[in-house]
Structure 1
Amino acid sequence: MRAGVLAAAVLVVMGVSAAPAGAGGAEGFDTVAARPAQPATAERATGTVVGTGTPASCTSRAVVRAVARGGTITFSCGPAPVTVAMTRTAKVVNTSSRVVLDGGGLVTLSGQGERRILYMNTCDRAQTWTTSHCNDQAEPRLVVKRMGFVRGNSTGERVDGGGGGAIFVRGGRLRIVGSTFADNRCDRTGPDVGGAAVRVLDQHRDRPVVVRRSTFTGGRCSNGSALSSIGVSWRITGSTFAGNRAIGRGANPARPGTPGGGSGGAIYVDGNDIHLTVEDSEITGNRAREGGGAIFFVSNDRSGTMTIRGSRLVDNPSDGFETLPGIFFLGASRTITDSVVR
């Protein structure tokens, strides 16, 4: 979790360096065809439809109840885009095997600048204790697809270190597909708190969180103002990160006389054997007050790897330190191919 102070002004176009294979092993949960067929459960068979065809019928209460029930959640809010003002945080119950929120590209959940939007924590007894290895259990599997998450705010949350203004996850599995995150917030200071949009701690068998075709804009947090994690790997494909800012001050560990933070304008990943893959994505116009305007990556035991392919990382200033333009990296190796980093 320490960040040394290194600086470099480097333009990387189609640069290649050696890297070990794999970013977290077999995807399993990420590739449906690879899974054996399983009998339908009542949870999967029934699902839940939020709303009865009108915008007014799609309420915070209905969303909260549907998430607690689990299964596949779809929405019937009318033909036009709708924003649901969340008056409570929707929380996954740990007895659910799978929770899928599918907004069909029309539904946005708003935290109204006052609360976190979605929460899953397999180690939170209030959401039902299901195993003795809560930090490494296979379920629930949470999928958000074609959803919007705006104005989530986890400021002041303290369970497991806080963070995750829109979504907080510990344990199970998480997958984000075709979704948008805008103007989310978490605590403004702190050496390790992060994830204005998404904060993840622990995934089953250390498999990567998958993010596909999603957009993250306008996040503000001490660190990692789009994505933040500890001990977690990520596989990010076809996604956009723009205008996110890490606004903490003092880095990690915090310099004397500072509250700490300010690293990873868009992405903050910390841990040991962690792996970050970014493919066919664009990370532009993000900023860090300390290190890594685009990406802050620290593998404490130097076993972690970072791979960037077919991506564009441009105009992501690091006010304090970086090893490549917009990137602070400490790990085993980094691979950058067919990409622009400047």
Structure 2
Amino acid sequence: MTHYLIGLSGIALLASHFAVADSFPPAGNPAGRCPIPAEAAAEDVSKPSNVIGNGTPASCTSDAVVSAVAKGGVITFDCGPEPITITLNRTAKIFNNTGPKIVIDGGGKVSLSGGGNTRILYMNTCDQAQVWTTPHCDNQDHPQLTVQNLTFLDGNAKGQNPDGGGAIWVRGGRFKLINSRFFRNQCDDTGPDVGGAAVRVFSQYQNLPVYVVNSTFGGRKDLANRCANGGGLSSIGVSFSVLNSLFSHNQATGVGANPARSGTPGGGSGGAIYNDGNTFNLQLCGSDLNHNTANEGGGAIFFVSNDRSGTLSLDQSDLSANPSAGFETSGYPGIFFLGQGTPRLTASHLSKGLPTTTMDCLFSWAERTYPTHLSPAGAAALSSAPYYFRHYAGSGSYLGISTDDGHLYYLSASTGPQPFDLGAYAIWRLTAGC
């Protein structure tokens, strides 16, 4: 239907902007429009100090990645013109005396895989094997690690010590994450504290926030990140500022919560994000959390500030269809919150399912905009998993939204027997003003 409809409206520019060279969802929430502060911006990599590869895919090996990360500095890749997946047979580890600034930039073409067996990236200022650089390792301003324009696949931290962080584990210094994607990463299935199938972070310098910008965690059922707690992000006592990002279909798989109920292994909270500790804040702006699940509390977000000083704020963000099988805070579907006051919502929407009123608004806009393809207007909406859709008898067509991947689909005689993928529902909703 892109061929039939998008060309009529100029939306092709939006579709091409978010296109990716592989079959995975793009980085970030396509509807996110929040401004990015200067300290959260991507780093300049025009003068790299270490380049992985010499222009060919064969030169971009696990050993080359591990070696470059150990050397630090500004790291880029030269693996040829096509997208590449590099499978690591051991974890790439940051050495704390190779900064102070360390940047790893995949140029939007590089995926690092743990092969289902290996944690991918590790930084720990308190790990003596990675060099102690100050007498106060839990509160030092370096290394300042930026990971940008990279995809992390099939990282696995099960049974690791320290636990959690299937793709990335960080303690100390500063950390920010930009334009990156996380698919099928995992850590231990159960446990009251273990968390962060994709990313786990501890002890940031002076309690400054970790920025997560324009990044995607999951995005489809088959790409879910899974861990006992925090399918996407997990931390203890660390603030996150999550901007224009997408968390979808991630899972908190533990059972028994924290502290673990008698006879249970514990865990199961924060399908997308798990925050615990004392004084810390979680800010979401321009972000979309949908279809994340928790066996216990907070299908989308689990937030417990033990001294009740921490704050949770959502601005221009949507949470929908994030079931909490155990418990959540009344009036805030998908969230369990214990902190200062109540969660602060600005121009944000929370719902137990995908809001049908918004989907119906989009269908009505499409009928007005493309009456030849969608007639007669005003057809009743129907549901047949995974689609919420309308059937247009006059034009013999269907328009539907899939809850599996959050995309808009069109089906008619001209598209053949399979629905045509029109791209992210969030983009169409933004275009329609719904």
What TM-score, normalized by structure 2, do the two folds share? 0.69
2:90 alignment partner in structure 1? 88
Alignment of 1:149-160 (within 5 A): 149-159=152-162
**What is the deviation of 1:81?**
0.6
Q: Could you list the per-position Cα deviations for residues 180-236 of structure 1 after superposition, in whole angstroms to 9, with x for gaps in the alignment?
A: 000000001100100000000110000000000000011100000100000100000
Residues in 2 aligned to 1:303 and 1:31: alpha-carbon distance in whole angstroms? 28
Residues in 2 aligned to 1:231 and 1:188: alpha-carbon distance in whole angstroms? 22
State the SS of the aligned residue for 1:189: coil
In the alignment, structure 1 residue 189 sits paired with structure 2 residue 190: yes
From 230, 236, 241, the counterpart of 2:242:
236
Cα RMSD, aligned residues only: 1.6
From 271, 277, 288, the counterpart of 1:282:
288
In the alignment, structure 1 residue 130 sits paired with structure 2 residue 133: yes
Residues in 2 aligned to 1:145 and 1:46: alpha-carbon distance in whole angstroms? 14
User: Residues 42 and 148 of structure 2 are in contact (CA less than 8 Å); yes or no, is this contact kept in structure 1?
Assistant: no
Residues in 1 aligned to 2:346 and 2:200: alpha-carbon distance in whole angstroms? 27
Q: Could you list the per-position Cα deviations for residues 307-332 of structure 1 after superposition, in whole angstroms to 9, with x for gaps in the alignment?
A: 00101100000000000200000000
Any stretches of 5+ residues in structure 2 without a counterpart? 1-36, 219-223, 352-434
In the alignment, structure 1 residue 111 sits paired with structure 2 residue 111: no
2:165 alignment partner in structure 1? 164
User: Residues 299 and 334 of structure 2 are in contact (CA less than 8 Å); yes or no, is this contact kept in structure 1?
Assistant: yes
* Mean Cα deviation higher: 254-263 or 46-55: 46-55
- With over 3 angstroms needed to count, the CA separation of the structure-2 counterparts of 1:330 and 1:281, relative to structure 1, is same
Any stretches of 5+ residues in structure 1 without a counterpart? 1-26, 34-43
Residues in 2 aligned to 1:235 and 1:88: alpha-carbon distance in whole angstroms? 30
**What is the deviation of 1:99?**
1.3
1:338 alignment partner in structure 2? 347
State the SS of the aligned residue for 1:62: helix
2:53 alignment partner in structure 1? 51
State the SS of the aligned residue for 1:61: helix
User: Residues 40 and 213 of structure 2 are in contact (CA less than 8 Å); yes or no, is this contact kept in structure 1?
Assistant: no
User: Residues 70 and 95 of structure 2 are in contact (CA less than 8 Å); yes or no, is this contact kept in structure 1?
Assistant: yes
State the SS of the aligned residue for 1:63: helix
User: Residues 48 and 75 of structure 2 are in contact (CA less than 8 Å); yes or no, is this contact kept in structure 1?
Assistant: no
**What is the deviation of 1:56?**
1.0
Residues in 1 aligned to 2:166 and 2:130: alpha-carbon distance in whole angstroms? 19
User: Which structure would you say has the larger RCO, counting Cα contacts within 8 Å and 6 or more residues apart?
Assistant: 1
In the alignment, structure 1 residue 30 sits paired with structure 2 residue 40: yes
Alignment of 1:243-258 (within 5 A): 243-258=249-264
Residues in 2 aligned to 1:305 and 1:67: alpha-carbon distance in whole angstroms? 35
**What is the deviation of 1:130?**
1.0
Residues in 2 aligned to 1:90 and 1:173: alpha-carbon distance in whole angstroms? 18
Q: Could you list the per-position Cα deviations for residues 145-193 of structure 1 after superposition, in whole angstroms to 9, with x for gaps in the alignment?
A: 100001000000122xx10000000001110000000000000110010
**What is the deviation of 1:28?**
8.3
Residues in 2 aligned to 1:139 and 1:28: alpha-carbon distance in whole angstroms? 18
Aligned residues: 305
**What is the deviation of 1:30?**
3.5
The one-letter code matched in structure 2 to 1:234 is F
Q: Could you list the per-position Cα deviations for residues 221-264 of structure 1 after superposition, in whole angstroms to 9, with x for gaps in the alignment?
A: 00001000001000000000001000000000000000100000
- With over 3 angstroms needed to count, the CA separation of the structure-2 counterparts of 1:245 and 1:31, relative to structure 1, is closer
The one-letter code matched in structure 1 to 2:128 is R
What TM-score, normalized by structure 1, do the two folds share? 0.87
In the alignment, structure 1 residue 198 sits paired with structure 2 residue 199: yes
User: Residues 48 and 76 of structure 2 are in contact (CA less than 8 Å); yes or no, is this contact kept in structure 1?
Assistant: no
Residues in 1 aligned to 2:86 and 2:42: alpha-carbon distance in whole angstroms? 30
Residues in 2 aligned to 1:32 and 1:269: alpha-carbon distance in whole angstroms? 25
Whichever structure has more helix as a proportion of its residues is: 2
The one-letter code matched in structure 2 to 1:328 is F
1:16 alignment partner in structure 2? none
Residues in 2 aligned to 1:317 and 1:297: alpha-carbon distance in whole angstroms? 15
* Mean Cα deviation higher: 331-340 or 220-229: 331-340
The one-letter code matched in structure 2 to 1:330 is L
1:180 alignment partner in structure 2? 181
Q: Could you list the per-position Cα deviations for residues 10-36 of structure 1 after superposition, in whole angstroms to 9, with x for gaps in the alignment?
A: xxxxxxxxxxxxxxxxx8853699xxx
Residues in 1 aligned to 2:182 and 2:266: alpha-carbon distance in whole angstroms? 25
Residues in 1 aligned to 2:95 and 2:63: alpha-carbon distance in whole angstroms? 16
In the alignment, structure 1 residue 314 sits paired with structure 2 residue 320: yes
2:419 alignment partner in structure 1? none
